[in-house]
Structure 1
């Protein structure tokens, strides 16, 4: 080996250092590999156990997917930390790097993290679910999807509205689908001088003919206000949630026809004009 500038003594020293390195690092590598394989197996096992548990408890699929992904990420971080510790990496430096990276990411994604937290709250507490009709942030429509960061609501005119979950989780949400029954509110104006009791009887007869309207609570007709042009009647009845708008539209039309048939006038806006002439003129 002298022709390459390496004498036998130097070669023996290199060999000895290689052997020492192998004996010092080799066991750590083997142990790290074993920890990796065992850890990977345990992570997959935990994922299977969580999937079975979520299926039995009928957890929302979106929430189940999120929780499994989150748990998997945490377990992989713990596994990497364990392997790094086994390999002799100083944990103080490792944790400091992770902390600095986490702070930087948190500041950069502050809004997204708020939406993320809001999505978790919505999926956990379920103020609404996919398919429900809700009113939130000035829009009313059917919930089309609930993602981790955003919720998509389809308006009745087929517009798709995407609302950040952070805003949804911290503001008023009206869920029109959560209850199985709804109250139908209608208002009808009748002419001054009309017999209110007669009008009430006619309207109740119309409502009683509709089998979709519940008998309990019973339908009611109240005289509610002296309007500018009419006596205003408030009509209230109860029906199944899915029948709300058909009951409203069809009975409004039926009430109008019944009142007209019984010669009860439904007035339109009008004004009486009094003209005063100067003295001596007609």
Structure 2
């Protein structure tokens, strides 16, 4: 026979289970709605930054991610508050946990710090081609931990930010113009002034080359088998490779037409015979 005390206990347990179930449902609802809002707001921020044109493409993905993370932190705090957890305690626990995680993941934290420094000092931006101590490619995205790059042959690179921050970076896209040094050797029997005149005539026909500083040809050395010329000119950075290929071919064809040789490496061999006559 069920006593009154037993009935009362069952009712209390049922009411507690019902209340707890409602709290779980409310917490799940907050979590789902908060995640939905975080995605929506992040999407609006991304679209707004893309349309405004005032924020550099390098910063846009980082701002979007930070916005999403910040909203989700508030959502998690609201979920915990639904279960009666003191938010001040939660913040203190998150701070302590963050410190512990930071000490345990020092390398990861270095990447985050390096990422912020790369974004702040801007040694390179999205879309620029760089070389960092042998790591070369076009920058696609700078995230909090890694930098995404694509090599000239289409291979994806994932580079830790700390490695790029500690490297010497050559940015081939930053400056508007770039100098080309085209090395060509001519034979010792060829007329140097004629070769200079022919080369400059070829360069004068290329509209991509800058007039100031003007193209020049200088003798940089006397090699083992050739007189070494340095054909120097300036172009816009975007015209560097096409102009280099075109002018190298054009100068070779012009030299052939004018009878100016581009010699192969060669050596003079002298044989000294010192054989004593036998007695």
TM over 0.5: yes
**Unpaired segments ≥5 residues, structure 1:** 12-35
Q: List aligned pairs for 1:59-78, cutoff 5 A.
A: 59-61=55-57, 63-67=59-63, 69-70=65-66, 73=69
Q: How big is each residue's C-alpha offset from its partner over 1:192-247, in whole Å with a ceiling of 9 and x where there is no partner?
A: 13322111111101111112212121000001111111111111111121211111
User: SS of the residue aligned with 1:120?
Assistant: helix
Instruction: Tell me the residue number matched to 2:100.
Output: 104
Once the two structures are superposed, the pairs formed by residues 112-131 of structure 1 within 5 Å of their partners are 112-131=108-127
In the comparison of the two structures, how many residue pairs are matched? 258
Q: Kindly indicate whether residue 146 of structure 2 is the aligned counterpart of residue 150 of structure 1.
A: yes
Q: Distance in 1 between matches of 2:46 and 2:93?
A: 33
Answer yes or no: is 1:214 the counterpart of 2:199: no
Give the one of 175, 190, 196 matched to 2:192. 196
Summarize deviations over 1:131-183 as a string: whole Å, max 9, x none.
21111231332223332221222222222222111111222111111122211
Query: Scaled by the length of structure 2, what TM-score is found?
Result: 0.72
* Residues 22-33 of structure 1 mapped to structure 2, 5 A cutoff: none
Q: Relative to structure 1, is the Cα distance of residues 73 and 160 closer, same or farther in structure 2, using a 3 angstrom cutoff?
A: closer
TM-score with structure 1 length normalisation?
0.72
Unmatched 5+ residue regions in structure 2?
9-29
Structure 1 stretches (4+) deviating beyond 6 angstroms?
Answer: 46-53, 78-85, 87-93
Distance 2:201 2:88 in 1: 81
Contact 2:58-2:125 within 8 A present in 1 as well: no
Following superposition, the deviation at residue 279 of structure 1 comes to 3.4
Shift of 1:96: 5.6
What is the rounded CA distance, in whole Å, between the counterparts of 2:62 and 2:128 in structure 1?
21
- Preserved CA contact (<8 Å) 2:146 2:161: yes
Report the Cα distance in structure 2 between the residues aligned to 1:88 and 1:165, rounded to whole angstroms: 40
Q: CA deviation at 1:88?
A: 9.9
Instruction: Report the Cα distance in structure 1 between the residues aligned to 2:57 and 2:123, rounded to whole angstroms.
Output: 16
Aligned residue runs from structure 1 range 155-174, under 5 A: 155-174=151-170
The question of 1:277 aligning with 2:270 is answered no
More deviation, 228-237/90-99 = 90-99
Q: Which residue, 155, 158, 177 being the options, matches 2:173? A: 177
